[in-house]
Amino acid sequence: MEMAELGATPKGGVNRPALTPTDIEVHVRLAEWARAREFAVEIDAYGNQFMRRSGSESGAGAIASGSHSDTQPTGGRFDGISGVLSAVEALEVIDDAGIETRHPLEAIIWNNEEGTRFSPTNLGSAVYVGSVPIETMLAATDGDDVTMKEAVQNLRDAIPWAGVRELGAPMAAFIESHIEQGPELEAEELDIGVVTAIQGTRKLEVEIIGDEAHAGTTPERMRRDAFVDAVSVASALRELFHDPDDIMRFTIGRFEVSPGALAVVPGHVFFTIDIRHPDNATLARLGDQVEAVCTEAASRCEVRVVETRRADSTPFVGLVPEAVEAASRERGYAYKHMPSGAGHDARYVSEICPSGMVFVPCESGLSHNERENATADDLARGAQVVADTLLILDERL
């Protein structure tokens, strides 16, 4: 709740774009908390911030947890920051308990996850693991022509005593806690989601091209009504993507009818398709059928389909999700395995070390919304799982 005051909006949400003064204030407070416990604080060239409790075994890589502190312009109090605070809390309780770990433990604030302030933009985690060149990303500017490089310097100036972290320095494992941003855990009265993957996605655009005609004078048999064919196409696609297991996410979100006049038979329809699934083979098999199904279903109009984006699924398997499950089970929390519908920093971190995520319920699945909410009890259970997972990983790694 203290963090939610930094960038608080009148409607109870948070507006805290990356490395604005309020976001830097979050970094400063957490750095001060870390320093009070004699944790090391480091910042890398892209503004990712690392708070480290030392381990006993020299040369062991850090077992890390964290998320991001920036928000959407009309964001909520929990998206991102709850994962950062879970990591901080985990380090603090382990420290309070006087537990000595072999590996160093780290709490991380990944910079710029929401990516709304700078253009071009990229996640701090993506830059850290080297998936995009740092020079380009530091040259990115915001609406006032402030560069990311200057913004990172502002952060560094606010915490002048912080050390320097090398981009891409190895880690032993990474666990990210995040609100679910979906309604499943709440609806099923579960405490914890053991995240199995970040879903893969395909985005397509469909155009249906018919002929405009007079609604009063043109008989049905002579129409090439783009709306009528689009309805058939949408129905056929819904059938194609129907999944009895309800894992497939199929959405037609934009659907635009032209000319869009009461008395004119529509000559053109444009719509988007958003497909997500944790299994790449399923995405490939069904996504590849879209064009044929559209063409088949449109009885009179021309159809054009283009794919605008395709990203494979990122699976979380092995050590980290196993530790998350073990921690949940041992605490007696009600949990289930589930994929993440949205992207997260853990997607990129998984490129350099074993990674995973833990989800906690969020009210009505609302996120990227000022009304976003999560209960203290749920968040505490999530933080407990993070702490336990760090210790389990410290044993098993």
Q: Which residues bind a copy of itself (CB under 8 A)?
A: 180-184, 187, 199, 201, 203, 213-222, 225, 227-228, 231, 234-235, 238, 243, 246-257, 260-266, 272, 274, 276, 340-342, 365, 367-368
Beta strand residue intervals within 180-282, DSSP E = 192-198, 200-209, 213-214, 249-251, 255-258, 264-265, 268-277
Write down the least CB distance from residue 281 to a copy of itself, Å: 19
Distance CA(230)–CA(185), nearest Å, equals 35
Cβ closer to a copy of itself: 160 or 216? Answer: 216
Write down the least CB distance from residue 116 to a copy of itself, Å: 15
Q: Which residue has the tokens 């948070």?
A: 14
Distance CA(227)–CA(265), nearest Å, equals 8
Distance CA(138)–CA(287), nearest Å, equals 36
Cβ closer to a copy of itself: 249 or 331? Answer: 249
Cβ closer to a copy of itself: 168 or 341? Answer: 341
Write down the least CB distance from residue 311 to a copy of itself, Å: 11
Write down the least CB distance from residue 201 to a copy of itself, Å: 7
Beta carbons within 8 Å of 86's beta carbon, 6+ residues apart: 65, 67, 177, 379, 382, 383, 386
Q: Are strands 163-164 and 40-43 parallel, antiparallel or unpaired?
A: parallel
Tokens standing for residue 30: 């957490």
Write down the least CB distance from residue 109 to a copy of itself, Å: 23
Cβ closer to a copy of itself: 213 or 352? Answer: 213
Cβ closer to a copy of itself: 25 or 184? Answer: 184
Distance CA(336)–CA(365), nearest Å, equals 16
Write down the least CB distance from residue 209 to a copy of itself, Å: 16
Cβ closer to a copy of itself: 198 or 393? Answer: 198
